[in-house]
Structure 1
Amino acid sequence: MAAADTANTKPGWRKVLTALGQAKTAYMLLFGFAAGLPYALLLGTLYAWLSDAEVDLETMGVFSLIGLAYAFKFLWSPALDRLNIPVLRKLGKRKQWIVTAQVLLGAILVILSMLDPVGQLGWFSLLAGIGAFASATQDVVIDAWRVDVADEVATIDILSTVYQMGYRIAALVGGALALFLAERTDWPTVYLTMGAIMLLVGLSGLWAPDANARKGAVDTSDELGFLRQPGQIAPRIRMWALIVVGALWAWALATVGVFMVQSLASTPEARPDSVAFISTMGPLIVVATVVIPALVAAWLVRTERRGEYLLAEEAPAQSGADRLVDHLYRALVLPLTDFVGRMGWALIIVLALVLTYRITDAIWGSFAYPFYLGELQYTKDEVAVASKFFGVGALLIGLALGGYLLTSIGRMLTLTLGAFLAAITNLLYADLARGGAVVQTVSDVSGFSWLVAQMGGDGRLAKLMMAIAGENIAVGIAGAAFVAYLSSIVSRGYSAVQYALLSSLTLLVGTLGRGALGQMIEERGYFDVFLLTTAIGMFAVVLCIIEWIRIARNGRSQNAPPPEPALA
């Protein structure tokens, strides 16, 4: 404990160095890399392979549907919190799933390298879909592992930053490096190499610190017994709450699953409209899996606090059905009641912040290439240099700066600063949409244009690189702060479900808004769109300040580990 106290008194950079010496921090970097690599290979680089194989655009569009696994990963997150894998359960609550997912992903990438994407398209799409599911599953468990193992030295802020760094490095390896290798070898060799890397990462995970060893990890048997003690909600009431929440989640999972199967199995003429599905069913799924269950959880919390429908004496489980209901209630409902019980009405602020904090770059990111290539008329090579190589470097700098700021000025100030910078840097692109006079002046005066010229570029390329650098540094700071914030407000015992819900909401809202933004671009042009995204970002800044005040009033230390689950 003395070491931890000493670490907390050190300046920001010393705390960072101390944390980097921890084994769990090294594994966090490795797990971040393992999370980012399959995402880059299955939802990015794979389309380059399909293009080279002359697969039609409609089929490639269907492949993009596997990305739904990431947006709706919270639907199966309760199972990852409760179920164990035979034999592998000895590895630990989180590691058993992390290692299994990584080894499965490695095997899938290796098998994909042996298939012909044209002649064996059915198997190819099936394996890609399974790979996306395994990758999204891995993300859920890695997020929970990060929350579980955080302590006073390897804080949640440091681990969140390191995770983001590993993820972005993987994006570079699975994107730019993969394209570089494909140009000099072939696609099967690229995917065979990447599969071997994933297999090595999975095997390395066997020696990662065990999340179960963390103090405060929830013991399932004790907790299930606790549910039937005097003063707890009566089993009959819990059962009805479980039926409502379970039915809604089951409907949502079935809806997404059926849509993906129909899309991947249908002919181009019979395929369902993915845009229509997202725009119509997306909001309904959010209401069914978040809004209504949150209201049910709020009613349960209110009922318990008022002393209604509570057990007067111990009521032990009488059958296997009783124990099953307890397990399902623990997996689906308790994470929600814990969240509502701890947050109260502040949950509205939290959800509003989650929905708006990353919406600026989440929505606009889909239109980046059309903006660079179509509106600004840059070449593909220029965009690759500015966005993929220079841009990723700027993003890593932003993440490193975000990690330092988290340890030196605190989580909420960094979160607020990140929101402001992420919003205001949209004005750089607004300037580019009007010719880029301001960005060009800054680039010339700072000497950046001269530096780019020495490397073979010109002033026009320097202007694009300057804008991308500004945005990516801001996004890096905001990304590190946002992951740290989400990790800090979930409970260790329910981290898988709670974090998956919050992170999925961020993805879903960005997905739902792209259609409207695309229409606005068509009607008003890019300049007005960037002004709008700046305004949306400023709304997030206001919410950050409100949340900062709330946390300060509660008196919780910004560097405290994530809260334990509220069982009473």
Structure 2
Amino acid sequence: MAADAATPKTQPRKLRLRDITEDRRVAQMLALGFSSGLPLLLVLGTFTLRLADSGIDIKTIGLFSYVALPYSLKFLWAPSIDRLDVPFLAARLGRKRAWMVTTQIATALALVLMAFADPKEQLALLGLGAFLVAFCAATQDVVIDGWRIEAAGTDMQGIMAATSNLGYRFGLILAGAGALYVAAYGGWTLAYLSMAALMSIGFVAALLATPYDRARVAASADAPKRDLPTAVRQAVLEPLTELHARMGKALFAVLALVALYRMPDFVSGVMANPLYITLGYGKAEIATIVKLFGIWVGIAGGFLGGWSIARLGLFTTLVIGAFIAAASHLSLAWLAMGGPEPWRLAIAVSIESLCGSFAGIALIAYMSSLTTPGYAATQYALFSSLYALPGKLVAGTSGFVVAAYGFPVFFAMTAAVGIPVVALCFAVGRLPQRAAAAAETEAGEEAGAETGNPTRPLDLASAVAEPQLPPKAARAQT
């Protein structure tokens, strides 16, 4: 007890402004976060707007949303980053810094390719460039996340994550509003060349960053060797088996909820920029209202979602988010039925951004609460990939729906997806709270067995089938 009392407890540090200048890691994380956020819109929102501005068919624009799939599939090649070295550079910069530098150079070169590819005459080449940007940038994200985790201890992870998100937001603003302002006055070629040049910020940060690389553990001659099937089973199958054992048949409803929750946003997002161009809004107007004002409204929506979880609880926030995120697309349907008036665009963008960010925070909290210690990384990777992948796959057909029925009907259809999502929320939205209650019951049973007063454990599958309010303690934990 004396030893424990003498050991100071580690208190989580709060983000201070001077941390960015006093701690090199924080300043480096800010620049690396910027480099991570910059390419995203250049293959999504800004890219679809460029296609619409060039007169590309709406069906083709929808199909081009598939070039961003590497962002949803990066978990497939992420394990190789910690096992393979970049020739020549790894010995001089370290494994992670070498990968950062390589992916940043490759991303910049792919952006140069996109800059000089004319959508009207070289559409396939432009699509190839966009796919290469997405692949290289997604790989860069994997490396930067790994560097962030290894560069700081537990007490610094909050600061590093917050700083990374701040830099990421700056990258989104420049790739959105910045690129559109440049395109409005200097053309798309200059806009994409400018974005390629801005990748140098992350490049310099990677060169100056301290090489934090976790040493590989040499295999001992006496250590048991795992064959490939065993390694795959322990790394992939066991976390999934644990999910099924813990949730039972409810797991399938949970996966359906995760897959559908943000699907309206992913599907409608591909057609939002073509809608603005079709209505007659200029690139400068879109940059100011959508890419600047809309992002800050989205940030406010994220804070509102966090406040709602703290005050109303996860389940209530999840249901509210599912309803308002889908219903907010009716504002885009309303926008599609009017003229190019800035106030109409501001209202529609405000509603959609606020509600979408609110729902995003709710889903992240819900997915995180479904994981279990020991398998959290793999289980969360499963959920985070699932929530984005189906929406992006369906988004490729969005152009055909718009061509057949028009923008108002299309956005009304995306709003209708919210109906089954809300129903699924009521079915399995309280699952984390019931799991907490089950853990309390199991603990009580073990204690009761010692005192001769055992309690009955809660069956998770039956709890899902028979809805009931969780105890206050479990509700407070969520």
TM-score w.r.t. length of structure 2: 0.67
Find the counterpart in structure 2 of residue 98 from structure 1.
Answer: 100
Whole-Å Cα distance in 2 between the matches of residues 48 and 524 of structure 1? 21
Whole-Å Cα distance in 2 between the matches of residues 31 and 223 of structure 1? 36
Find the counterpart in structure 2 of residue 390 from structure 1.
Answer: 293
Matched to 1:345, the amino acid is: A
The alpha-carbon deviation at position 124 of structure 1 amounts to: 3.7
Matched to 2:141, the amino acid is: D
Find the counterpart in structure 2 of residue 85 from structure 1.
Answer: 86
Find the counterpart in structure 1 of residue 185 from structure 2.
Answer: 184
**Residues 265-291 of structure 1 deviation map (CA, whole Å, 9 limit, x = unaligned):** xxxxxxxxxxxxxxxxxxxxxxxxxxx
Whole-Å Cα distance in 2 between the matches of residues 525 and 97 of structure 1? 42
1:422 alignment partner, SS class: helix
The alpha-carbon deviation at position 57 of structure 1 amounts to: 5.4
The alpha-carbon deviation at position 68 of structure 1 amounts to: 2.6
1:174 alignment partner, SS class: helix
Whole-Å Cα distance in 2 between the matches of residues 150 and 552 of structure 1? 34
The alpha-carbon deviation at position 222 of structure 1 amounts to: 3.4
Find the counterpart in structure 2 of residue 566 from structure 1.
Answer: none
Whole-Å Cα distance in 1 between the matches of residues 46 and 329 of structure 2? 29
Matched to 2:236, the amino acid is: L
Find the counterpart in structure 1 of residue 473 from structure 2.
Answer: none
Pick the aligned partner of 2:218 from 199, 212, 221.
221
Find the counterpart in structure 2 of residue 464 from structure 1.
Answer: 348
Contact 1:356–1:539, Cα closer than 8 Å, also in 2: no
Contact 2:178–2:287, Cα closer than 8 Å, also in 1: no
Give the unaligned 5+ runs of structure 2.
Answer: 336-340, 444-478
Matched to 1:7, the amino acid is: Q
**Residues 169-227 of structure 1 deviation map (CA, whole Å, 9 limit, x = unaligned):** 323321222111111112221111111111331231233354435xxx7x342389643
1:222 alignment partner, SS class: coil
Whole-Å Cα distance in 2 between the matches of residues 127 and 515 of structure 1? 18
Contact 1:490–1:499, Cα closer than 8 Å, also in 2: no
User: CA 1:24–1:169 in 2, change beyond 3 Å: closer, same or farther?
Assistant: same
Within 5 A, what are the aligned runs for 1:153-552?
153-155=155-157, 159-212=160-213, 219-222=216-219, 226-228=223-225, 238=227, 242=229, 329=231, 332-336=232-236, 339=239, 345-346=245-246, 356-357=257-258, 359-367=260-268, 380=281, 387-399=290-302, 419-426=318-325, 429=328, 463-464=347-348, 467-468=351-352, 470-475=354-359, 477-478=361-362, 481=365, 501-511=382-392, 528-539=416-427, 541-546=429-434
Whole-Å Cα distance in 2 between the matches of residues 530 and 111 of structure 1? 39
Contact 2:326–2:416, Cα closer than 8 Å, also in 1: no
Contact 1:178–1:190, Cα closer than 8 Å, also in 2: yes
Give the unaligned 5+ runs of structure 1.
Answer: 9-13, 229-234, 243-299, 301-328, 437-455, 556-568
Find the counterpart in structure 2 of residue 253 from structure 1.
Answer: none
**Residues 412-464 of structure 1 deviation map (CA, whole Å, 9 limit, x = unaligned):** x986575344224237538859989xxxxxxxxxxxxxxxxxxx975x66753
**Residues 358-408 of structure 1 deviation map (CA, whole Å, 9 limit, x = unaligned):** 732333442258689989x987468766543332102223445678999xx
Contact 1:161–1:484, Cα closer than 8 Å, also in 2: no
**377-386 or 123-132, which deviates more:** 377-386
The alpha-carbon deviation at position 471 of structure 1 amounts to: 0.7
Whole-Å Cα distance in 1 between the matches of residues 388 and 25 of structure 2? 27
Whole-Å Cα distance in 1 between the matches of residues 66 and 175 of structure 2? 19
Whether 2:132 is the aligned partner of 1:130: answer yes
Find the counterpart in structure 2 of residue 269 from structure 1.
Answer: none
**Residues 284-309 of structure 1 deviation map (CA, whole Å, 9 limit, x = unaligned):** xxxxxxxxxxxxxxxx6xxxxxxxxx
The alpha-carbon deviation at position 115 of structure 1 amounts to: 4.3
TM-score w.r.t. length of structure 1: 0.58
Matched to 1:45, the amino acid is: T
Whether 2:46 is the aligned partner of 1:15: answer no
Whole-Å Cα distance in 2 between the matches of residues 514 and 27 of structure 1? 35
Find the counterpart in structure 1 of residue 472 from structure 2.
Answer: none
Contact 2:119–2:126, Cα closer than 8 Å, also in 1: yes
RMSD: 4.9
User: CA 1:65–1:344 in 2, change beyond 3 Å: closer, same or farther?
Assistant: closer
Contact 2:257–2:425, Cα closer than 8 Å, also in 1: yes
User: CA 1:45–1:464 in 2, change beyond 3 Å: closer, same or farther?
Assistant: closer
**184-193 or 110-119, which deviates more:** 110-119
Whole-Å Cα distance in 1 between the matches of residues 63 and 261 of structure 2? 26
Contact 2:325–2:355, Cα closer than 8 Å, also in 1: yes
Contact 1:33–1:167, Cα closer than 8 Å, also in 2: yes
Contact 2:330–2:411, Cα closer than 8 Å, also in 1: no
1:137 alignment partner, SS class: helix
Give the length in aligned residue pairs: 420
Contact 1:360–1:536, Cα closer than 8 Å, also in 2: no
Whole-Å Cα distance in 1 between the matches of residues 67 and 130 of structure 2? 7
Contact 1:88–1:96, Cα closer than 8 Å, also in 2: yes
**Residues 125-152 of structure 1 deviation map (CA, whole Å, 9 limit, x = unaligned):** 4333322221222233334444444533
Whole-Å Cα distance in 2 between the matches of residues 220 and 430 of structure 1? 51
Whole-Å Cα distance in 2 between the matches of residues 47 and 464 of structure 1? 19
Whole-Å Cα distance in 1 between the matches of residues 73 and 246 of structure 2? 24
Whole-Å Cα distance in 2 between the matches of residues 209 and 479 of structure 1? 34
Contact 2:263–2:391, Cα closer than 8 Å, also in 1: yes
